[in-house]
Amino acid sequence: MSDNSVVALSEESQPSKALNVTLWTLQALAAAAFLMAGATKLVGAVATHLFIIGGSAAPALVLLLITAAVAWYRRPDSLR
């Protein structure tokens, strides 16, 4: 009772071009929404830390520079 037929999953699971474009658009919109929400929470957190709690902004700025440098130099890899 063995079935010898083989189904190529890559051929059946490929979305149409219109669906692919729609999914990429939705993914970009979701990423933008998460970035905007995160940026407003970060602006609020930094302001609270600096003006209410007190302290130095130097550690946050160093981390920002490190992550910005990594993102900038990894950018060509992510565009492939």
- Residue 6's pLDDT band (cuts 50, 70, 90): low
* pTM for the whole structure: 0.48
State the residue for tokens 């950018």.
Answer: 75
Give 34-69 pLDDT, tens digit per residue. Answer: 999 998 888 788 788 778 888 787 887 898 899 999
